[in-house]
Amino acid sequence: MMQPTRRATLFVTCIVDQMYPEIGEATAVLLQAQGVAVRVPRGLTCCGQMALNAGFRDEAYAVAGRTIEVLRGQGDIVLPSGSCTAMIRHLYHELFHGTPHQQAAEALIGRTYELTEYLVDVLGVQDVGAHYAARATYHDACHGLRYLDLSRQARTLLAHVRGLELVPLPACTECCGFGGLFAVKQAAISGAMLQRKLANITSTSADLLITGDASCMTQIAGGLKRNAAPVQVRHIAEVLVGR
Amino acid sequence: MATQMLPFYDRVEDALQNSTLQHALERNMPRFVALRAQALNKLIDEAALRDQARAIRAKSLARLDELLTRLADTVEARGGHVCWATDGKAAGQYIAELAQRQAVKSIVKSKSMASEEIHLNAQLEAHSLEVIETDLGEYIIQLSGETPSHIIAPAIHMTRQEIGQLFQEKLGMEPTEDIPTMTRTARRVLRQRFVQADMGISGVNFGIAESGGMVLVTNEGNADLTTSVPRIHVAIMGIERVVESLDDLAVMLQVLARSATGQKLSVYTTFLSGPTRPGEPDGPEEFHLILLDNGRSRILGSAYAEALMCIRCGACLNACPVYQSIGGHAYGGVYSGPIGSVISPLLQPDVPDVHQLPYASTLCGACQEACPVRIALPDMLLRLRGDAVQAGKVAPGEQAAMTAWQATMNNPALYRAGGTMASIITRLVGGREGVLKQLPPPLAGWTQHRDFPTFAKQSFSERWAAQHGTDEEPQ
Ligand code: SF4
C-alpha cells in the first residue's frame, strides 16, 4: 500500500452501519487504496436526518449536535451517501443557525464530502482499477443529485470499471419514493412511485442496479425482490471494489 | 367534490385506486414535463433568465407596500376603483355589493386561482348571482361541480371520454369524443353568456406598478372578452403579484409561459388599464381592482416569505412524482402539488388535516429544480413539518419513538447493543396505527409494496473495532 497522503474520517451513516456493513467496508477499502488514511471514530452514529425529516427538530438538533462534536478536528469527512452528506452540507446551516454549534457546524460543512465526489473531484481519480462483470444501470439518488450536483462523478468512475456495461436508465433522476418516513407514512404513494422506478429498471434489461445511497437501495431492492425481478442491487462502493 | 371531504390518507387511497384518474395522469403529465424542458433548453441562458426572474420577484416583495400603493394610485387616477381586501370574505362582499348596486344579473369569469382560493363563485351564488366560468377547463369543472386539480390545467384529471359524457348530460351535445366538437359546443354556449353578462371577473397575472396596468395571459382569448364585453370589469389580484416595470414584466412573462406550457409566450397577453376612456372603441365602463391579502402579508413576515415569489406556473406540480401519482384533488385544497403543500397550511391553517400536506413529499427536490424562480419548496416543506410537530400535531407514539431514537443515537453503548434501528422503526410504524385505523396494519404499509431487509448481525462499527481496535488512530 502506498504511503498515506491524506487523512479522512469515514462516517458510514447509521443505515449502512446497521444494515449494510459491507458498504462501509468497501468504502474504507476504496479510500485506503487511494492512499487515504481512514479513521472511524468510536461513537459516531447518525446525522440526524430521520428526525429532521419527520419534523422533530429538537431531536435532530440533539443528535446532529453530538455528531458535530464527534467529528470535530482536522481532515476530510467522507460518507457513502449523498443524502446524509446533503443533510450536513445543506440542512445543518439552518438547523444550527444562531446556536452554540453554529461555528463547528460551518467548519464541518466545509470538509464533508460524498464518496464519489471525494474520489473524482477531490482526489482526481477516474479509474479505481475495478473489475465487475455485469450489465448495469444507475439510479441518481435525489439529494446528491440536487443538493450536491452529483451525477457525472459516479458515471465517470463506473465508465472505467472493466467488464461493466452501463446502460441508461429512463427517468434516472426521478425519485424512487423512499423519502425516509415518507415510505411508511405515505406507503401507498411511495409504492406507486416505486412501481414506476421498477418498470424503468426492468425496461433496461440490466441485471444490476447501482446507486449511491443505501436508503434508495432498501426501497428499490425490496421492490425488485417482491416482484421477483432478476436484478441485483449494489451500492457504488461495492462495485468499485470489484476485482 | 366528495373526495375532498375525506381525510387526507383516504383521499390518497381514492386517487391511487381511481383508474380513470391514473389514466389521465399517465397521459397528460409527461407531455407537460417534456414541453417545459424543451422550451427552457432552447433558451441561450436559461440559468441567467431564471436568476433574473428570481431577483425581480425578490425585489417586488421587498418593496411590496410601495409598489402596491403606486399601482393603486395609478389605477385610481385612471378612473378605476381599488379595493384592499383583507380576506376572501371582504373581497366577496365587495363584489356582491357592487353587483347589487349595479343591478348585475349575469357574470362571466375568466380563470383566476385567487378567486378559487376565496370560493368566490359560492359567495356570489349565495347572493343569487349567476357566475359562468369561460376558460374551457374551468367551465368543465364548473359543470362537473369540482375544484381545479391543477393550477393551469384545471380539468387535467379528466379524460376526453369523461368530458364528452359531461357535455352530453349538461349541454345536450351529441355523443362524441372529438375534441374540436366539444370545444365548438362550449364556445357556442359561452358566446351567448358573454353577450348577456353585465359583469366580467378576471384574475391578474401581474400588476405593473409603474404604469398601473394589469396583465393577463391565456391561451383561449376568453379573458379578452371577459374584460371588455361586460360593462363592469372586476380584476382580482393577490397582493404579491406586482412587478415594478415593463422591463420586469418582460422577463416574468418569458419564464411563466415556458415553465407553464412550454410556450415562448402564451397565445394571448392582455393588457388592462382600467375603464374605457373617451375615444377608445371598447372596454368596460367601470373597472375595479381587488387587491387580495387573505393571509399573504402574514406569510411575508414569516419564514415562508419566499413562497410569495410564486407566479403560479404549475411547473412544480408537473415535476412532482407525488402529484404525478395522485393528481390534484387528493391535496384537498385549491392549490395542489408542492406549492399547494406549502401555501395551503399557511393560507388556511385551520383546515383539519392541512398539516399533513407537507408530509406528502419525499423532499426529492424536483419541484425546486423545475421552479422558474427556484423557490426552495423542499426546505419550506421541512420547516412546516417542524412547525406542525412544535404545535403538537404528531401521531400517537411518534413522539415516544423519536425520544427513543434520540436517546439511542446519542448513547453509543445503546446504539451498539444492536437491533436498535429495527425496534425504533417498528415503534414508529406502530405509532401510525392510532391515526389510520382504516388502513391495513401499519407494517403492511411497507411490506405491501416491498420486502424489508434484515438487519446485519454485526454492525460496521463493531466489525471495524474488532479489526482495528478501538483507538482512534488512522488506519
Ligand atoms: S412554486 Fe414555482 S414552479 Fe410552482 S407554481 Fe409557483 S412559480 Fe411555478
The per-residue pLDDT for B106 is: 93
- For residue B270, what pLDDT is reported? 87
What is the separation, in whole angstroms, between the first and last Cα of chain A? Answer: 16
- How many CB atoms within 10 Å of residue B141? 21
Domain boundary among A97, A121, A145: A121
Same domain (yes/no): A110, A201: no
CA distances A44 to A74, A226, B5, B208, Å, are 16, 33, 47, 55
Which of B34-43, B83-92, B396-405 has the highest mean predicted lDDT (pLDDT)? B83-92
Q: Among B377, B420, B450, which would you mutate to test the A interface (most chain A Cβ atoms within 10 Å of its Cβ)?
A: B450
Cα–Cα distance between A109 and A121 in angstroms, integer? 16
Q: Would you state the pLDDT for residue B446?
A: 60
Least confident piece of the model among A56-70, B156-170, B238-252, B437-451: B437-451
Q: What pLDDT was estimated at residue B440? A: 35
On whether both A142 and A77 belong to a single domain, the answer is no
Name chain B contacts of A195, Cβ cutoff 8 Å. Answer: 449
Q: Give the residue from chain B lying closest to A195, CA to CA.
A: B449
Write out pLDDT tens, residues A110-149: 999 999 999 999 999 999 999 999 999 999 999 999 999 9
Decide if A131 is inside a domain: yes
- What integer best gives the mean pLDDT of chain A? 95
* Beta pairing class for A36-39 and A112-114: unpaired
| Final residue belonging to a domain, choices A96, A121, A146 | A121
pLDDT band at A243 (very low <50, low <70, confident <90, very high): confident
Q: Measuring from atom 4 of ligand 1, which residue has the nearest CA?
A: B316
CA distance B113 to A152: 40
Query: For residues B42, B47, B48 and B53, what is the CA-based torsion angle, rounded to 10 degrees?
Result: 100
Averaged confidence pLDDT in chain B:
87
- Answer yes or no: do A74 and A117 share one domain: yes
Report residue A185 as a C-alpha cell. 407514512
Q: What is the pLDDT of residue B428?
A: 53
Pairwise pLDDT comparison (A239 vs B176), residue with the higher score? A239
Does one domain contain both A116 and A131? Answer: no
Q: How far apart are the first and last CA of chain B?
A: 64
Would the pTM count as exceeding 0.90? yes
Angle in degrees, CA B57, B60, B61, rounded to 5: 90
Least confident of B26-40, B138-152, B333-347, B422-436: B422-436
Least reliable range by pLDDT among A122-126, B71-75, B266-270? B266-270
Q: Which of A133-147, B293-307, B455-469 has the lowest mean pLDDT?
A: B455-469
Contact residues on chain A for B446, CB-CB shorter than 8 A: 183-184, 187, 222
User: Band of the pLDDT at A184, cuts 50, 70, 90?
Assistant: confident
Which pLDDT belongs to residue A207? 97
Residues within 8 A of B (CB atoms), A 172-231 only = 173-175, 177-196, 218-219, 221-223, 225-226
Q: What pLDDT is stored for residue A22 in this prediction?
A: 95
Residues B443-447 have a mean pLDDT of 56
Whether residues A89 and A138 share a domain: the answer is: no
CATH number at residue A20: 3.40.50
Q: State percent of chain A over pLDDT 90.
A: 89
Residue A164 in any domain: the answer is: yes
pLDDT at B435: 29
> Quick check: B429 pLDDT over 90?
no
CA of B25 vs chain A CAs: smallest distance (Å): 13
Partner residue facing B456 (CB), from A20, A180, A191: A20
Question: Which residue(s) pair with B234 in the sheet?
Answer: B201, B288
pLDDT in tens, B167-217: 999 998 888 888 889 999 999 999 999 999 999 999 999 999 999 899 999
pLDDT of residue B272: 87
Q: Whose CA is nearest to atom 7 of ligand 1?
A: B310
- Complex confidence, ipTM: 0.95
Q: A100 and A162, same structural domain?
A: no
Q: Which of B240, B344, B371 to mutate to test the pocket of ligand 1 (most atoms within 8 A of CB)?
A: B371
Which atom of ligand 1 is closest in space to residue B317's alpha carbon? Answer: 4
- Top-confidence residue, B434 or B158: B158
Domain carrying residue A229: 127-240
- B470 chain-A contacts, CB cut-off 8 A: 42
Say yes or no to pLDDT of B29 above 60. yes
Residues A104 and A141 in one domain: no
A52 to chain B, any CB pair closer than 8 A? The answer is yes
Residue B458 has pLDDT above 50, yes or no: yes
A119's CB contacts (< 8 A; 6+ apart) are: A30, A34, A125, A128, A153, A157
**Structural domain includes residue A104:** yes
- pLDDT of residue B130 exceeding 80: yes
Query: Given an 8 Å threshold on Cβ–Cβ distance, is B16 in contact with A7?
Result: no
- Do A72 and A177 sit in the same domain of this protein? no
pLDDT in tens, B363-420: 999 999 999 999 999 999 999 999 999 999 998 888 988 998 899 899 888 887 655 5
Q: Give the residue from chain B lying closest to A57, CA to CA.
A: B386
Domain count, chain A: 2
Determine the pLDDT at residue A226. Answer: 86
Of A151-160, A178-187, B172-181, B417-426, give the lowest mean pLDDT range.
Answer: B417-426
Q: Give me A121's grid cell.
A: 473531484
Nearest-Cα distance to chain B for A44, in Å, is 7
Q: Are residues A16 and A60 in the same domain?
A: yes
Which atom of ligand 1 is nearest the CA belonging to B377? 1
Residues with CB under 6 A from ligand 1: B 151, 259, 310-316, 339, 370-373, 375
Which residue of A lies nearest to B432 if distances are taken between CA atoms?
A185
The three-class DSSP label of residue B285 is: coil
* Residue among A59, A179, A185 whose CB faces B405 most closely: A59
Q: Do A84 and A137 share a domain, yes or no? A: no
Q: Residues 62 to 121 of A: which have CB under 8 A from any B CB?
A: 62-63, 66, 91, 94
pLDDT at B2: 43
B186 CA distance to ligand 1 middle (Å) = 30
**At which of A68, A92, A121 does a domain end?**
A121
Task: Judge whether A139 lies within some domain.
Answer: yes
What is the B18 CA–ligand 1 centroid distance (Å)?
27
The C-alpha atoms of residue B365 and residue A145 are separated, in whole angstroms, by 9
Å between B441 CA and nearest CA of chain A? 11
Q: What is the distance in A from the centroid of ligand 1 to the CA of B94?
A: 29
Substitution target in B6, B13, B323, B364 with the highest count of A β-carbons within 10 Å is B364
* Domain assignment of residue A1, yes or no: no
Query: What domains sit in chain B, N to C, each tagged with a CATH number?
Result: 43-294 (3.40.50.10420), 396-468 (no CATH)
Cα separations in angstroms, A28 against A79, A88, A243, B455: 10, 20, 15, 20
Based on the domain organization, do A107 and A31 belong to the same domain? Answer: yes
Chain segment B108-128, per-residue pLDDT in tens? 999 999 999 999 999 999 999
User: Closest Cα to atom 8, ligand 1: which residue?
Assistant: B313
Same domain, A131 and A113: no
Q: From atom 2 of ligand 1, which residue's Cα is the shortest distance away?
A: B371
Residue B418 CA to residue B462 CA, distance in Å, equals: 10
| Mean predicted confidence (pLDDT) in B278-285 | 84
